[in-house]
Amino acid sequence: MRSRSGLRRTSSLVAALLASVATAQAQRPLPAQTPDLVVGRSVRVHVVASEELEPDVLRALARPEVTLWLTTRSNTLRESTLETLRLFGAAWVQLRPPLTAVDGKALSRAPAAGLWLPLDEALSAPLSRFRGRRPLALEVRGELDDARRALLVAQRPSFTRWSPPGAVDLLQWSQFKALPGRKAVVVSPGFLLPRDCASRDPAEPAAELHVAMLLAVSDGVFPCGIGTRVEVNPDVEPWLLKSLIVRDPSIELVVQVGDDVRKVGKARALLELLGR
């Protein structure tokens, strides 16, 4: 979870980027003959929501094309929430240390849900006791040193999300690319590299960034993996949504709703706009 000071810094950055976008792009970034309808039925949407939401509210976002990332306060979820996870195309449940056998027993009621947690050697042993065949998503923050790489190879996650501290040298990047599973790198201003991605390779890591940062660059960004993850507001403008999809049909949208019921309503309207 982000601290308040971190949120303020992020908000300031996004506001500055949006201001630069408003100055640089006075017109919609699509040709005039582009159809007005948003065609996004194949677009994967990732919804980041809190377990604090009532299951009925959470259920309003359940679609086969929607992946739920459920943030938690503990590892003990309500049974009704666990039942709701099954309605999504995929679901990931955030786990918090310490991990116990009781946690594994509770999650057995949602056998298809993936486990989502930070990379931590101390969690390896308890995690292995109830992971079974579940997919694993790991968050990595900071330098990707030898110990962390070895742990990632041992854990064999389905998905690794890396937030590097800044610029990454060629050796670190090559080692990250060689890790198992799908990979995404959280793009920060220090890492941002404009690049025209003429083609996208599913074997390459994908970028993850806020839409304001993407528009500020006004071009493709490195890395050029398939499925660039772009965070958008739940009430994103239809023209901008259309622009993102037309320019990169493999794009994946990330929508943060937290425990805000109003944002859930806006996210539901977004899904309907995409033809869900």
Cα dist from 45 to 38, 120, 126, 160, whole Å: 14, 28, 31, 18
Cβ neighbours for 246, distance < 8 A, ≥ 6 positions apart: 30, 34
Higher pLDDT: 168 or 115? It is: 115
pLDDT in tens, 180-219: 999 999 987 766 555 566 667 777 899 999 998 888 775 5
- Across 39-43, 60-64, 133-137, least confident range: 39-43
SS3 161: strand
Q: What is the pTM of this model?
A: 0.83
Cα 267 to Cα 50: distance, rounded to the nearest angstrom: 14
Unique residue bearing structure tokens 């490195």: 222
| β-bridge mates for residue 227, sequence order | none
Pull the structure tokens for residue 203.
């074997």
Radius of gyration for the chain, computed over Cα atoms and rounded to the nearest angstrom: 19
Q: Report pLDDT digits (tens) over 136-189.
A: 999 999 999 999 999 999 999 999 999 998 778 888 888 999 999 999 999 877
Q: Give the contacts of 27 (CB within 8 A, at least 6 positions apart).
A: none
Cβ count within 10 A of residue 16: 12
Asked if residue 248 has pLDDT above 80, the reply is yes
